[in-house]
Amino acid sequence: MGEPPPLVDPRRWGSLVGLAGGVVFVASYSSALGPVVQPVAWVLALAGVATALVGHYVRPVALGPLTRPGPPALLAYLACVAGELALIAVGSRALEAAGRGDLRPALIAAVVGLHFVPFAAVFRERMFLHLGVVVALLGAAGLLVGALGVARAADAAAVVAGVVLVGFVAAYALGRYAPADRGRLRATPPA
C-alpha cells in the first residue's frame, strides 16, 4: 500500500496517542520538580506537540508506504496494552507494599517504554524500538536512583520520559524515520 492521505493515515492518528501520553507524564509529575523545571518541561512538551501536529497535518511530510497490520498484529497490540496495564497494576501494588509508592512514576515510564518495543516488529516501524528502549531506560534509571534515596528521581524520570516521548513523535512527524526518498507530500503523484 502507498502513502495514505494525511487525514486518514492511521500512523498520524496513532501518534496523537503518544503525544497525549507524553503530555500526561509532564502534567502529572512536573509540579513535583519545582517552579523552574515545571515550565521548562511544559515548553518542551508543547513545542514538541506543535511540531508534530505541523509535521503531520499542516505541512505533511511523507512517512513512507503504509504496511497495513493484519489481525495478528492487532492482537499483539492489544496484548501489549493489556500487559502494560497489568504490569503497572502489579508493580504499583508491589511498590506500595514495600513502602515505595513514590517510585510509581518511574515504574510507569519503564513499563510504557517496554510496551512500545514489540510494536517495532508488529507495525514495522523502527521508531518504536528506539522510543521504547529510551523511555524504558529512563524509567529504570528513575527507579534505581529513587531506590537509592534521591528525592523526586522517579518524578524527574517520568517527566523526562514524557518529553522524550513527545520528541520522538515530533521527529517521526518530521519524517526522520521515513524511507530515504521522503519529502513533502505532493498534491499529485510523481510521473
pLDDT at 187: 42
Question: What pLDDT, in 10s, does the model give residues 109-165?
Answer: 999 999 999 988 888 888 999 999 999 999 999 999 999 999 999 999 999 999 999
Using CB atoms within 10 Å of the CB of residue 149, give its burial: 0 to 12 exposed, 13 to 18 middle, 19+ buried: exposed
Residue 141 to residue 33: CA distance in whole angstroms: 17
pLDDT at 189: 43
Give 61's strand partners.
184
pLDDT at 180: 64
Q: Which residues contact 137 (CB under 8 A, 6 or more apart)?
A: 113
Query: pTM for the whole thing?
Result: 0.88
Give 12's strand partners.
none
pLDDT at 1: 58
pLDDT at 62: 87
Cell of 29: 509529575
Q: Which residues contact 55 (CB under 8 A, 6 or more apart)?
A: 61, 170, 173, 174, 175
pLDDT at 72: 86
Residue type for position 45: A
Q: Which residues contact 146 (CB under 8 A, 6 or more apart)?
A: 100, 102, 103, 106, 153, 154, 157
Handedness of CA 148, 153, 154, 158 (dihedral sign): negative
Closest CA to 60 of 172, 165, 168, 164: 172
Low-confidence ranges of the chain (pLDDT < 70): 1, 180-191
Give 184's strand partners.
61
